[in-house]
């Protein structure tokens, strides 16, 4: 399945002047120019470079992980996993694709989602007796899921894309639901869920481009 | 899945809103589809804004722990690879590592993801260091299997009872008591079993304890340990020893300190089949 390809989608030949490529990385707090140099050094086995990458990106990695897994200990595990993965796979980052922050956050998102799903599967066994008659912790309504992710810039970003994309994207991105589960929870056809995820993401570009329609 | 359906999955894939099968199928498709690869990259870039503003400072010790792990890995992948492989083989053969928290049991996913060849090769040489480090090493071993690995967290939690409950092969068996169902969760991969007690489980009378027994097909019983007061409090206990060939787990009332063999009739027997 090529997990390296999937998670590290930077290793492609995507054209840089493709207007479809939003250069989000350049405006992120982690978009300092030296990051790519650091990653290159990490690829060569430079541990102090990894420490610097950690210092630049750990709060963002930990913050996203925490938002998704909603548990500090799990978020720490995800963060640790992500930096180990950076250590091992730094050489796979394509320097031609700009800052590696996108790669790192993609790794972070995937690890977090995998973790929250496996936790959910296990929580059934773990909490069988306590929650027999209660709503399982992850079986949240769309609204609850969205409330959990209200926070600053993210909230603004989501708010601006408007419904129904806001809820769809929040469920998919922050709650770790598959498109199938999103469709079920929102009571919409599968195809609609997929379309809304895509359109919701594209609407995010509106903000990046200063309001112009993407 | 049709070609068009595949293209359709790009957005869901970009935000990991796919199940493991879809992920694998789509990644296979990605290898041949420039259009989807570009779309995934574009959408993942756009999704970046969703983590911008969520920054939270991680605990300070996490940095040291990450760097320690990296240093360990950088230092010498060859040191104890043989020992680790031996341990893994034993666990696979018997399903009962002598040490219930052996990390080797977290490995079955490796073979399923052997396409990450170089990393896989490195993992095989990871040292099974003693102490907390080996949990972290196991976590590290799991993380590189980025695609659709769901058994990962079991390698991370140092609580062996939780390990069993979370094991991919965990099976749950129950029997009713007056106080509610008693569950025994068995993982052959972990070589251990855990008992979960109902919420209102009565405590044993003073001077007596509850003792668990692995019961073999021939009716013989091996002690699986005394349920200590804190276990009753937590309602979860890791049983001592391996379930091995046990066909049931029985519970008896025994004098304080427990017995070598059951001295009373079991008040509940949980069949494991």
Q: Which of A5-9, A39-43, B264-268 has the lowest mean pLDDT?
A: A5-9
Using the beta-carbon criterion (under 8 Å), do B56 and A179 form an inter-chain contact?
no
CA of A171: which chain B residue's CA is closest? B17
> B161 or B95, which is more confident?
B161
**Is the model's pLDDT at B153 over the cut of 60?**
no
Does residue A110 belong to the interface with chain B, where contact is any CB pair within 8 Å?
yes
State residue B147's pLDDT score: 32
| Report for A148-162, A194-208, B65-79: range of highest mean pLDDT | A194-208
CA distance A172 to chain B (A): 6
Omega before B236 within 30 of 0, i.e. cis: no
Put simply, whether A158 touches B (Cβ < 8 Å) is yes
- What is the structure's pLDDT at A33? 45
Fold of A142-208: Arc Repressor Mutant, subunit A (1.10.10)
- What is the strand order of the sheet B192-196 is part of? B171-177, B180-187, B192-196, B236-238
- Cβ(B221)–Cβ(B214) below 8 Å: yes
Burial of B93 (0-12, 13-18, 19+ CB in 10 A): exposed
Any chain A CB within 8 A of the CB of B63? yes
User: CB of B121 within 8 Å of any CB in chain A?
Assistant: no
C-beta of residue A11 within 8 angstroms of C-beta of residue A93: yes
Q: Looking at the complex, does the CB of residue B1 fall below 8 Å from at least one CB of chain A?
A: no
Specify the pLDDT at position A126.
57
The model carries a pTM of 0.53
Chain B CB contacts of A153 below 8 Å: 49, 52-53
A49 falls in which pLDDT band (50, 70, 90)? Answer: very high
- pLDDT exceeds 90 at position B143: no
* pLDDT tens-digit readout, B209-242: 899 999 888 888 899 999 888 788 778 888 998 8
Q: Where in chain A is the domain with CATH 1.10.1740.10?
A: 26-126
The continuous run of DSSP H or E covering B255 comes out as: strand B248-255
Residues in chain B within 8 Å Cβ distance of A130:
199
Which comes out higher in pLDDT, residue A145 or A166? A166
| pLDDT band (50, 70, 90) for residue A202 | very high
Mean predicted lDDT score pLDDT of chain B: 72
All residues at 6 or more sequence positions from B198 whose CB lies less than 8 Å from its CB, including other chains: A129, B177, B179, B180, B181, B182, B235
Average pLDDT in the A92-118 region? 85
Cα B237 from Cα B234, distance rounded (Å) = 8
Q: How far apart are CA A194 and CA B43, in angstroms?
A: 13
Cβ-defined contact of A14 to B38 (cutoff 8 Å): yes
Considering the segment(s) A26-126 as one domain, its CATH architecture is Orthogonal Bundle (1.10)
Residue B1 neighbours by CB under 8 Å, 6+ apart: B25
Spell out the residues 6+ positions from residue B167 whose beta carbon is closer than 8 angstroms to its own: B105, B151, B154, B187, B189, B190
Nearest by CB to B71, which of A1, A47, A174? A47
Interface residue A213 vs chain B (CB under 8 A): no
Chain A positions in Cβ-Cβ contact with residue B153 (cut-off 8 Å): 74, 77, 115, 118-119, 122
Query: Who has greater pLDDT, A35 or A60?
Result: A60
CB contact (8 A) between residue B67 and residue A54: yes
pLDDT tens for residues A56-70?
999 999 999 999 998
Beta-carbon pairs below 8 A across chains A and B: 286
Query: Which positions in chain A touch B149 (Cβ < 8 Å)?
Result: 114
Label residue A6 by pLDDT band (50, 70, 90): very low
Lowest mean pLDDT among A35-44, A113-122, A140-149, B114-123: B114-123
Condensed to tens digits (0 to 9), the pLDDT of residues A172-192 reads 999 889 999 999 989 999 999
Residue A100 touches chain B, beta carbons under 8 Å: no
Per the model's pLDDT, the better-predicted residue between A41 and B86 turns out to be A41
**Separation between Cα atoms, residue B256 and residue A182, nearest integer Å:** 54
Contact B110, B145 (CB under 8 A): yes
Q: Do B46 and A125 touch (CB under 8 A)?
A: no
Contacts of B253 (CB under 8 A, 6+ apart): B204, B205, B208, B209, B210, B211, B264, B267
Above pLDDT 70, what percent of chain B?
Answer: 69
Span(s) in chain A for CATH 1.10.10.10? 142-208
Q: How many angstroms separate the Cα of B190 from the Cα of each of A33, B90, B136, B187, B236?
A: 47, 12, 17, 5, 17
């Amino acid at each position: 399945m090529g997990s390296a390809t999937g998670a590290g989608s930077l290793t492609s030949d995507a054209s840089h002047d493709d207007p479809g490529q939003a250069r989000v990385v350049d405006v992120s707090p982690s978009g300092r120019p030296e990051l790519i140099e650091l990653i290159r050094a990490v690829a060569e086995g430079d541990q102090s470079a990894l420490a610097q990458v950690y210092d630049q990106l750990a709060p963002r990695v930990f913050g996203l992980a925490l938002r998704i897994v909603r548990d500090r200990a799990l978020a720490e595990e995800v963060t640790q996993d992500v930096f180990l993965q950076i250590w091992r796979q730094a050489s796979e980052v394509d320097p031609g694709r700009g800052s590696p922050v996108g790669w790192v956050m993609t790794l972070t998102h995937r690890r977090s989602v995998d973790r929250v799903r496996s936790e959910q599967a296990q929580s059934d066994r773990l909490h069988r007796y306590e929650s027999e008659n209660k709503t399982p912790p992850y079986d949240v309504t769309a609204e609850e899921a969205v409330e959990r992710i209200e926070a600053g810039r993210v909230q603004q970003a989501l708010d601006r894309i408007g419904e129904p994309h806001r809820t769809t994207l929040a469920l998919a991105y922050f709650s770790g639901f598959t498109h199938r589960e999103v469709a079920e929870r929102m009571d919409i056809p599968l195809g609609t869920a997929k379309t809304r995820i895509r359109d919701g993401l594209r609407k995010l570009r509106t903000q990046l481009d200063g309001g112009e329609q993407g | 899945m049709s070609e068009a359906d595949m293209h359709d999955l790009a957005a869901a894939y970009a935000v990991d809103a796919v199940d493991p099968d879809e992920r694998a199928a789509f990644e296979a498709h990605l290898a041949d589809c420039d259009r989807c690869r570009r779309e995934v990259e574009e959408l993942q870039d756009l999704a970046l804004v969703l983590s911008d503003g969520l920054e939270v400072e991680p605990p300070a010790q996490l940095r040291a722990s990450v760097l320690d792990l990296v240093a360990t890995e950088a230092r010498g992948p060859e040191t104890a690879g043989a020992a680790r492989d031996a341990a893994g083989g034993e666990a696979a053969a018997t399903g009962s590592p002598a040490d219930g928290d052996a990390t080797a049991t977290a490995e079955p996913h490796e073979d399923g993801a052997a396409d990450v060849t170089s990393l896989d090769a490195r993992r095989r040489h990871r040292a099974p260091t003693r102490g907390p480090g080996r949990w972290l090493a196991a976590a590290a071993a799991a993380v590189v299997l980025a695609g659709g690995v769901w058994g990962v967290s079991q390698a991370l939690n140092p609580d062996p009872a939780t390990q069993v409950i979370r094991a991919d092969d965990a099976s749950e068996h129950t029997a009713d008591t007056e106080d509610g169902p008693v569950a025994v969760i068995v993982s052959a991969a972990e070589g251990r079993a855990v008992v979960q007690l109902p919420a209102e489980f009565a405590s044993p009378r003073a001077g007596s304890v509850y003792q668990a027994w692995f019961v073999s097909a021939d009716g013989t019983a091996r002690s699986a340990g005394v349920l200590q007061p804190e276990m009753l409090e937590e309602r979860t206990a890791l049983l001592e020893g391996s379930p091995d060939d046990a066909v049931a787990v029985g519970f008896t009332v025994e004098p304080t300190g427990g017995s070598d063999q059951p001295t009373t009739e079991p008040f509940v027997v949980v069949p494991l089949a």
